[in-house]
Amino acid sequence: MTMTDEVFLLSGQLTKTGHRLVQRVYYEDTDFSGLVYHARYLHFLERGRTDYLRCLGCQQSDLLAADEEGLVFVVHRMEIDFKMPAKMDDALTILTTTEKAGGAKMVLSQEIRRGDTLLIAAKVAIAVINRHGRPRRLPESVAEKFLQSSN
């Protein structure tokens, strides 16, 4: 196994519809009841989005350094539906798909599942900005990677 294989193994995998990442629920993710604390789901969703980028060959540090303007992704809006709780030791699957990628915006749909059971459904609007916090267009080459992975 090469270093690249290991990185992609840790980063989940691209699927026909987007990205799939499996994460275990640890004690640190839970509250006194043994259920995942609601804010920890943001961490799982962020890991899914970050590893989706990585599997697409888009390193965030490279995007920032790609040109004088730099390219940064920031969460602009997030809608989360909490359907069912996760518990310690659950194996969760974080699924991420692209709904829109272009202009200065991306929209991603995410789910967290335990087996076939939907626990969390989220829609995330991502603003594309430069290193100075001003909107910038998503390069077509990057937008194509997101759109091709979700077809």
Dist. CA 74–CA 10, nearest whole Å = 23
Among residues 31, 62, 67, 89, which one is catalytic?
Answer: 31
The token duo for 101 is 């990628």
**Other CB atoms within 10 Å distance of the CB of residue 5:** 9
Does the annotation count 31 as an active-site position? yes
The answer to whether the beta carbons of residues 74 and 129 sit under 8 Å apart is: yes
- Cβ-based burial of 1 (10 A; exposed 0-12, middle 13-18, buried ≥19): exposed
Dist. CA 38–CA 149, nearest whole Å = 29
Active site members: 31
